[in-house]
Amino acid sequence: MTATQADVKHVLFLCTHNSARSVLAESIMNRVGAGRFKAYSAGSMPSGTINPYAINLLKHLNYKTDTLRSKAWDEFAKAGNPDAPDLDFVFTVCDNAAGEVCPIWPGQPMSAHWGIPDPSAAVGTEAEIALAFAEAYRQLNSRITLFCALPMASIDKMSLQKRLDEIGKSRAPDEPAA
């Protein structure tokens, strides 16, 4: 059963630079959401480029990467773009973006913080840095999969908000406790 265009939920993932975590999340959601969700990503201070490790990981996992770009959240703000999609959900995936004052989003979306350690800050060998990106991908994939499994049609707004917050605190099945 395919979702009609009106049934598709619009999801925005935010990170400060929109170069790694938010881009990974956008890609994952567009795949896992299987037409029920349309994902976007943006940053409060976009770097203007996608981290090459993020691109390499996504390509390795057979994602399309040719349309990915680092962009400002103004593209999705009501005041900045009258053509911005009405958003249903906005998730911050970095602690910096979670603490910033966000624009007014069209559609009055529900929001939650799904913080993930920044793989772009990883240091070490090529393999160690690639592992940090793989770990960020794994955590985001786990959370997005949980989100996509929620019974959107039958859950009330307060319960849904509680679940969004719980997902943000969840660990991947094989992730050790902090």
Residue 55: CA atoms inside 13 Å, Cβ hemisphere, count? 12
Residue 176 within any structural domain of the chain: no
CATH code, domain carrying 13:
3.40.50.2300
Residue 85 within any structural domain of the chain: yes
Q: Kindly give the confidence (pLDDT) of every residue in the chain, 178 residues in length, as a single tens digit, with 9 standing for 90 and above.
A: 455 666 899 999 999 999 999 999 999 999 999 899 999 999 989 999 999 999 999 999 999 999 999 999 988 887 767 788 899 999 999 876 555 666 777 778 999 999 999 999 999 999 999 999 999 999 999 999 999 999 998 999 999 999 999 999 886 555 554 4
Strands 37-43 and 110-113 turn out to be unpaired
pLDDT tens, position by position, 149-163: 999 989 999 999 999
Helix (H/G/I), strand (E/B), else coil: 66: coil
Beta bridge partners of 12: 40, 90
**Domain count of the chain?**
1
Residue 175 within any structural domain of the chain: no
Residue 177 within any structural domain of the chain: no
What is the spatial distance between Cα 125 and Cα 82, in angstroms, rounded to a whole number? Answer: 45
- Residue 98 to residues 25, 43, 51, Cα–Cα distance (Å): 15, 11, 21
Domain that holds residue 112: 5-167
The predicted model scores a pTM of: 0.89
